[in-house]
Structure 1
Amino acid sequence: MRLLEAAAEQPGGATAKRLARAAGLPLATAYHLLRTLVHDGYLTHEGGLYAMGESARRLSGPADAQAARAELVDWLGRLRDDLGAAVYYALYEDGEVNVVLTAEGAGAPAVQEWAEFRRTAHAHAIGQCLLAQLDDAERRDHLARHPVERLTPFTVPDERALLRKLARMDRGGPVHEWQQYTPGTVCAAVPITAGAVPSALAISLPAGRADQLRPLAGALRQRIETTLTSLSFSVRAAPCRAPER
């Protein structure tokens, strides 16, 4: 704990010797503890400097987590109003797709989960966007547990076709889906490239507004790029919805 406190006082990172002195520990002991803290994600070690890691930041307590969640919920609500579309925030954790937050409204209804999102990742933009961020072994493991199945006439027909589609995707670019999950609805998802956990933001539209999907997906990508520096995308919790307007 003294090492963590010492590291927290050095936002730009510090050497092992400096942290050992600040914590009042022998250098050999400090090295041993620092290796453990890096292994467990409490510290990072780059260029000879130790700095606070993601696990340490989560120790700040539920108040900070709730504040980050409230900030994200508010931002998703503004996105929904600006884009005129339902907006979703999703993560890929522990081998599963998790739609954490949904912002919908009277003029922007969310997709009804008639087939469980976690087992139908192959058929919707969120799932395809998250699967595209995995390595080949992780992707094949997911599909072994959740095989490709036809949900609509537009769903990708089999695993081979899905893997080809994922391989062709532009890394960091939007993923578009046209009535593959549910008839009458089109979706797009954009990967979030901050943090170690694969994540994405997505929108959905009635098929009658399909011509707006690509422009709105581009606008969503721009909003993510301009917001990543100021907004935390580390919210992990049970699914919930932003207040409707």
Structure 2
Amino acid sequence: MTEEPSDLIRSVSRALRVLEEVSRADRPLSVKVIARRCGLNLSTSYHLVRTLCYEGYLYRCPDGDYLPGTQVAERFHEMIDAFDRPPRASVVLRHLSAVTGHTAYLAQLLGGRLIVLDVAEGPRSPWLEDLQAGLDTAPHATALGKALLLSLPQRTRRDILTEYGLRRFTSSTPASVEDVEEELARLSPGQVVEEHGQFRDEVACAGAVVPGTSWAIGISAHGLTIPARARARLEEAVGDLK
């Protein structure tokens, strides 16, 4: 939803802003800092953090500063579990990671967002903080996203890219919808899609859609090439999830 609803409950909106600020901070925050960052008065901020602490969404440190509470993690795991993933997805991802040594991913486009639903880490891949379970990431700069975009009608694809925006991650990231379309025009729906240094410098990724589904699986690798053996194993994994 991009427009503010007429029945917006301000107290709920403010509480969520407080939770967001505390969650994205790299250290515990005091109430004064929370109030300043959220544009709230101090009294309102105290009421909100006390309520969030009582409900378990914030934790009050001994020095009086605040961290995210355990209920944040509980909701995160419930969100992940709510997605109707392919029954063998976790087994297939872990096998793919084990036989290639590369990190394997499962993702889906939901509401125009590319959501990573499962990850099996491998030692031959870098740790990518934006490609972790539960996070949404860039469809235009990732092989997972491009594989899923390739399976969509052009108009739908362009709407998603326009809505999401084309953030530049590296100097190789596509700069416009036309750039993405030109790249996808050279590919056939269902084939393995690769990107080289578009999402992270000196990192390559490959992804493919599982036929007949809205799921994509992929792998990442150090450097700007995907090893042929790893690509072949990825294609086998796609077949395992059909």
* TM-score after normalising by structure 2: 0.58
User: Aligned residue for 1:224?
Assistant: 238
User: Aligned residue for 1:164?
Assistant: 182
CA RMSD of aligned residues (A): 2.9
Shift of 1:133: 1.2
Within the candidate set 163, 166, 186, 1:148 is matched to 166
Shift of 1:204: 0.3
Unpaired segments of 5 or more residues in structure 2? 1-81
> Whole-Å Cα distance in 2 between the matches of residues 80 and 187 of structure 1?
14
Correspondences of 1:91-106 after superposition (within 5 Å): 91-106=108-123
Range 162-171 or range 65-74, more displaced = 65-74
> Whole-Å Cα distance in 2 between the matches of residues 73 and 212 of structure 1?
22
Report the AA paired with residue 168 of structure 1: R
User: Aligned residue for 2:97?
Assistant: 80
* TM-score after normalising by structure 1: 0.57
> Whole-Å Cα distance in 2 between the matches of residues 95 and 126 of structure 1?
13
- Counterparts in 2 of 1:71 and 1:156: CA distance versus 1, 3 Å: same
- Counterparts in 2 of 1:202 and 1:66: CA distance versus 1, 3 Å: closer
Unpaired segments of 5 or more residues in structure 1? 1-64, 230-245
Higher relative contact order (CA 8 A, sep 6+): 1
Is the aligned partner of 1:120 residue 2:133? Answer: no
Q: Classify the secondary structure of the residue corresponding to 2:194.
A: strand
Q: Check conservation: 1:85, 1:107, Cα contact below 8 A.
A: yes
Within the candidate set 209, 212, 216, 1:200 is matched to 216
- Counterparts in 2 of 1:70 and 1:163: CA distance versus 1, 3 Å: closer
- Counterparts in 2 of 1:160 and 1:70: CA distance versus 1, 3 Å: closer
Q: Check conservation: 1:156, 1:162, Cα contact below 8 A.
A: yes
Report the AA paired with residue 238 of structure 2: I
Q: Check conservation: 2:192, 2:207, Cα contact below 8 A.
A: yes
Shift of 1:217: 1.7
Q: Classify the secondary structure of the residue corresponding to 1:121.
A: coil
> Whole-Å Cα distance in 2 between the matches of residues 215 and 107 of structure 1?
13
- Counterparts in 2 of 1:173 and 1:139: CA distance versus 1, 3 Å: same
